């Protein structure tokens, strides 16, 4: 994370079931926002 602006590092936070909110909807595994761990 050395190359990421500190003000923007929150965008790379890993979510857990306790911190996610799907608003009662199933998780969309086909979402375009699904990131590969190597990206």
Read off the pLDDT of residues 1-39 as tens digits, 9 standing for 90 and up. 899 999 999 988 888 877 777 788 887 777 777 666 775
Considering the entire predicted model, what is its pTM? 0.43
Contact 1, 12 (CB under 8 A): yes
Could you give the CA distance from residue 39 to residue 35 in angstroms, rounded to a whole number?
7
* Closest CA relative to residue 34, chosen from 15, 6, 9: 15
Look up residue 11 and give its two tokens.
């965008």
């Amino acid at each position: 994370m050395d190359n990421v602006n500190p003000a923007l590092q929150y965008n790379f936070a890993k979510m857990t079931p306790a911190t996610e909110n799907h608003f009662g909807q199933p998780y969309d595994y086909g979402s375009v926002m699904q990131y590969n761990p190597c990206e």
